[in-house]
Structure 1
Amino acid sequence: MPRPLPRTAFPAGPFRPADLVAAGHPVARTRHPSLARPTRGVRSPAWPSDLQDRVAAFTLALPADVAFSHRTAALLHGMPMPRSVERDPVLDIMRRSDRTRIRRAGCRGHRGLERRAVDEVSGVRVVGLADTWCDLGECVGPTLGRDDLVVAADSVVGRLEAGAGSLRQVLDGRCRPRGRRVLLDALSLVRPGVRSPMETRARLMFHDAGFPEPEVNGVVRDAAGGWLLEGDLVWRDQQVVGEYQGEDHADRRRRSTDAQRAGLASDLGWTVLELFAEDVWRSPRRRLTLLRFARELGLETSGLRIG
């Protein structure tokens, strides 16, 4: 069994064996069995533990003219993605159309980089935010759908100069883009000011059921005009608030504050209804939730798509 080499024998992160040899280290050291091989031509003291580690390792082996794209770029930009996308070990890589498509184990090669903006994220080249969202239209399928596109767009529109208009401008500039129909559908449902993916999914649940559209993060004031609360989903005419209870609402102090504000709102004629993840994801809970909100909103259920 080979003896482990001292940690000082290698760089702290991934490296190219050729660089180590050029620095005067023996070739045999780069072949030590304790080293991980994330991709051809790269070694590392440990296997990459997350996306950033994989990207750092592959960047050493890829040509300088590529950029990470599609699902990989979405994750690097911080767009919320389904878990199946987060767990995908394959990286999306894009290059200009006049260059050879990247063919490397662990990579999906794409071309067309000359028609996309390129940003630098954490020191690596990544297709720009708006272009990345439009490229997700090519990935629509069993693991990525319309709602996922809306969630992704809601999370980033505040970072774009023209908000959702920036996404539409890029999409309109594409020539017959794949997924155009679902991208346009998703774009029509994007709203600024959304603060979490589950707020978006709750709003889409009501939209798909035929409910009137609520305000997103609308402010509710008391009779004197003072701030009372900010509701995730606010039906102002009916004085109904839908409040999504995520993990940040779980501690006792936060729940106590929420309950006090809901009580004050109730004294002024408002109804505050809580929403949980199970109300969105689980079919029986979703139906009961929609019926409860329909009742408070005074809606005829015969005109709704509750199921």
Structure 2
Amino acid sequence: MMIHDNRQCQLGEGAFWHPERRQFFWFDILGKRLLSQDGGQPLEWRFDRMASAAGWIDRDRLLVATETGLAILTLADGSLADVAAVEADNAATRSNDGRADRQGGFWFSTMGRNGEPGLGAIYRYHRGEVRKLLDPITIPNSICFSPDGGTVHYSDTDRGIVWRQGLDTDGWPVGERQVYLDLSAAGWSPDGAVIDASGGFCCAIWGQGAVMRFDADSQRTHEWKVGGQHSSCPAFGGPDLTQLLVTTALDGIDNPDEAQGTTWLLDSGLAGLPEPRVIL
């Protein structure tokens, strides 16, 4: 375990590995910026709005969830081109978690800026269409997909519950959701998550400075510790997709030390899956 990037994020989130650029990207939501590195050199894109999650379209463009909706970010010049307005007229909410699915779609969530109960929702973009899938929910998080693309996972951090639900061949939800994990009794708050190549659910636990892995039977199999208390989002990457990047947050920590809000990298001992491309 080591610090990958010592730039402190107010709220690190939305980590993913870009398979064509071979770089990790992650957001500082409250800092209104996207961070990365190239050859160890820090990179940063600053925005005029909060942004929180992205999927890659091609080498040079990302589809980004922002507080006013979806936009295409051109990495070369940092420009944002709006694609779809989502809750743009609601000053009480912002975007939160998000991840590309294996059918070329992109799921993203919204929530109250102060975590107000029931202000959140989960949406999906698919080939030009944005559809609201779930509301109300308080802090929607942990959006990630099974290796075969047939199951979505998502959580309400506030309740400590993770659900899973089936998806059809186009990636739309079918049937009733089922409780996959109830972490409320342990006092654990599931935040960002990613699925590994074996189908394990690897979830950052807010407040615990850790990523925990659970198998298909909801049994905990692994725990990776990081130095930042508010671990917020993991992503597999690196040459063989065995490195695990973990974002953390300064938000909500009194008298933080230098480790809080930094971004960590460790050897997971497991393999991840390539992040899918978003199809416009």
* Higher helix residue share: 1
TM-score (ref. length: structure 1)? 0.26
TM-score (ref. length: structure 2)? 0.28
Higher relative CO (Cα under 8 Å, sequence separation at least 6) belongs to: 2
* Higher strand residue share: 2
